[in-house]
Amino acid sequence: MPQNLAQTGPASGHTASMGPRSTLIPPCVVFEDEDLLVVHKPPGWNTHAPSPYAGEGLYEWLRHREPRWSDLSILHRLDKETSGLMVLGKTPVANRSLAQQFEARRVEKVYRLRTDRVIRLERWTADSSVVRAGDRYVARPHAAGLDPAETRFQRVAGGDRWTEWEAFPRTGRTHQIRVHAAQGGIPLLGDSLYGGTPDRRLHLCAHRLAFEHPRTGERLEWTVDPQWDQDPRSLLRRAVIASAETDAYRCWHGASDAPGSGLYLDALGPFHLLHSDPDSEGEPETPPGIEVAHLHHRRLNRRVGFSGTEENCPRWIRGDRAPEAFMIRENGVRYEIRFDQGYSVGLFLDQRDNRRRLLTGHVAAGFALQGSPGTPPEVLNCFAYTCAFSVCGALGGARVTSLDLSRKYLDWGRRNFEANGLDPADHDFIFGDVFDWLRRLGKKGRLFDTVLLDPPTFSRSKERGDFRAERDFGALAASAAAVLKPGGVLFASTNAARLEPEAFLAQIRGALAGVGRRVVCEHYVPQPPDFPVSREEPAYLKTVWMRVH
């Protein structure tokens, strides 16, 4: 019988070794074998991406994470705000079998829901079609041309101001359970679209899932706790962050986690850093539902380059004060964090998944970082800052050249190498202007397997003057192409808010074509799931990996 998947990967105290690394399986995965992947989707995460630039859905995030998951297939879906169990197929055998079982209604799906309404019935069945009406769905009597929809409800628990029900849908129409529950007088808590009392989450969970194993025929079954009383924002982070190897991530992301919120909260090891709107008065309160013992605070500064270091440093609020320097862990890699160096503390948390790609040597489904094994690949990390990308490249088996305009940050980068058992002497650290050094390296015929471009939105150097990402990224990509091997990988990333994804990609593609280089493979990703994307908080991070001939 297949067993629930054990977490595998390097321990947090691993010693450095050459070659791509594995990392822990994300906590949302509850079962895996040769054919199946069963996951527990948290509330607030789409099953799949609503558009190419609006954040990865759970499916895309998983499919591109592990090479063995590259052929994952969606066999059923859950609404964004619905939590619970989903099965994805890994093989054609699984896909065919499960598709047949879903069609024949041999897959058992049991949902749990909560409502604050009371009806006299203990069990009842809704049998009416569900049709779209504007931005919602409504129940309609069966009629020619309408697909039937049937849901059986049974009360299972009750409290002071709520009752809990199990729902057994015989069909799988969009919003079916929500529409039928509202039709029967028990709209879900948190389901204001269908008349439910507002709450911090939709109280609907795919609680139990059972079917026949596609290869052995054995009956498999899983159940999960609906976790009604836990903060949904925390559930999302706990689904994607393996705490045994990562203790730095975003806990709260502005309006995506609460409409109108101007707060952003980062976990950094034992400390939390709260960012608030520059126009807010006094010291802000931490977001609701999140317990924070050791808190520092900083106001967001829209003019970082025009203010002093002291003005941008985080300020202690309560609990223990952060020491001058301390370590955090991300995917088993250690980084030095400091609160006394101005606006950035030493690590950009929204690049965690991209650093993992360097660490594991796997960019996306069908896109390995290195085309063939052999001598250690050469990586050039431009705008290296504290060399976080460089450390992951080196741990992944590459020889890395880190290039930055600050000696202080390059020294910080060397400390990050040493913290991970890497000898900085085995790698190169170059102080200077990126454009100048790309020209010099190109003249010397120095070529790299991977070139990383993650420039600041705005920077200024004596040699070249101002750099603005929305205006100059194409010129930067063209300069980088001069030192990129044929078949090499170009990584380009920016958080320039005014640069739209389409324009960003067009600028890079056009610049590469202008110097006679051709993109043969491309993978675009926005920020990771703990930086959720919404209408109120649109995606700001734009990243593309390109294999270039």
Residues 522 and 459 placed together within one structural domain of the fold? yes
State residue 14's pLDDT score: 42
List 431's β-bridge partners, or say none.
404
Percent of the chain with pLDDT over 70: 93
Per residue in 218-231, pLDDT (tens digit) is: 999 999 999 999 99
Region 449-470 average pLDDT:
84
State residue 18's pLDDT score: 66
Per residue in 102-113, pLDDT (tens digit) is: 999 999 999 999
> Rounded mean pLDDT of the chain?
92
Q: Tokens for 92?
A: 């054609």
For residue 20, is it within any domain? Answer: no
pLDDT band per the 50, 70, 90 thresholds, residue 7: very low
Residues 478 and 514 placed together within one structural domain of the fold? yes
Q: How many CB atoms lie within 10 A of CB 463?
A: 11
> Per mean pLDDT, which range of 189-198, 220-229, 306-315 is the poorest?
306-315
For residue 465, is it within any domain? Answer: yes
In angstroms, the CA 253 to CA 526 distance is: 14
Residues 225 and 252 placed together within one structural domain of the fold? no
Whether 79 is a known active-site residue: answer: yes
pLDDT band per the 50, 70, 90 thresholds, residue 146: very high
Active-site choice (33, 35, 71, 79): 79
State residue 308's pLDDT score: 46
State residue 334's pLDDT score: 98
Residues 319 and 255 placed together within one structural domain of the fold? yes
Q: Which of 509, 527, 492 is nearest to 383 (CA)?
A: 492
State residue 282's pLDDT score: 64
Q: Which of 394, 392, 382, 387 is nearest to 427 (CA)?
A: 394
State residue 290's pLDDT score: 87
Q: Residue 372's domain is classified under what CATH number? A: 3.40.50.150
Residues 197 and 165 placed together within one structural domain of the fold? yes
State residue 476's pLDDT score: 96
Region 191-205 average pLDDT:
97
For residue 261, is it within any domain? Answer: yes
State residue 5's pLDDT score: 43
Task: Please give the residue that has the higher pLDDT: either 7 or 348.
Answer: 348
Residues 405 and 526 placed together within one structural domain of the fold? yes
Region 350-379 average pLDDT:
92
Which string of b and e fits 233-256 if b means at least 16 CB within 10 Å? bbbbbbbbbbeebbbbbbbbbbbb
Angle, helix 434-443 to helix 469-481, in steps of 10 degrees: 20
The domain of 103 spans: 29-232
- Which pTM value belongs to this model? 0.92
Phi, psi of 478 (to 5 degrees): -65, -40
Please give the full DSSP string across 358-397, using - where no structure is assigned. HHHTEEETTEESSSS-SSPPEEEEES-TT-HHHHHHHHTT
Region 160-178 average pLDDT:
95
Q: Tokens for 541?
A: 């991070």
Q: How many domains is the chain partitioned into structurally?
A: 3
Q: Residue 284's domain is classified under what CATH number? A: 3.30.750
Q: Which of 175, 201, 232 corresponds to the end of one domain?
A: 232
State residue 263's pLDDT score: 94
For residue 241, is it within any domain? Answer: no
Residues 492 and 379 placed together within one structural domain of the fold? yes
Per residue in 465-491, pLDDT (tens digit) is: 788 888 899 999 999 999 999 999 999
Residue 285 class from Cβ within 10 Å (0-12 exposed, 13-18 middle, 19+ buried)?
exposed
Q: Which of 293, 327, 361 corresponds to the end of one domain?
A: 327
